[in-house]
Amino acid sequence: MAPSSTQRLIIIWYQTAVFTYIIYDIIVYEDSTDGDYSYIFDYAVNKWNNLGNVTIYNYYQLPNQDPSLRIEEIYDPNNDYIAYYDYDFIDEIFLITYSDTFFASISDDTRKRAILHEFGHALGLFEFNLTVDVNGQLVGPAIPEHRYNAMNQGVRDFPLEPGSCDIEVYDYLWE
């Protein structure tokens, strides 16, 4: 029997994933931005926290815990992305960086979707853009239901919460 689309996604993630440093099933993030979009971060955090298993906290909620994730903004009209997830090897911290240039020009719903997607990376989820077989080999384009999930790269019209594939993979990783 062929693996389900979620099983194929899980296989590729375990072969390539780099996970945020998580202690006791929590992520502590530091908001180093000017605060204009803090409500967007809170929205995305609440959506992921509603799934249980791992809890994301703002540093002000756990000030004795070193943050493992920092949110930062950049002002560069020449960049070509809304937001991205990365690791800073100098400061030894994971990053969600968003472009204030783009954020200023897009809707709140699009901002929420972008940050929801980036927090998904912090939880170990990768994009749903490719279909792979049980050996992690590319076999075709994305499966249609991936479009309705936060982790579909570049799609910003999915529902404003994790979709069914997001939840299945999250549960697999963190239960």
Domain of 91, CATH number, reads 3.40.390.10
What is the number of domains present in the chain? 1
The letter for the amino acid at 135 is: N
Work out the pLDDT band at 79, boundaries 50, 70, 90. Answer: confident
In the 8-state DSSP scheme, what is residue 115?
H
Q: Is the confidence at residue 18, as pLDDT, over 50? A: no
User: Are 49 and 56 a contacting pair, CB within 8 Å?
Assistant: yes
Domain encompassing residue 160: 5-174
User: How far apart are the C-alpha atoms of 154 and 96, rounded to whole Å?
Assistant: 16
Residue with the bigger pLDDT between 103 and 158: it is 103
Tell me the pTM.
0.81
Residue with the bigger pLDDT between 77 and 111: it is 111
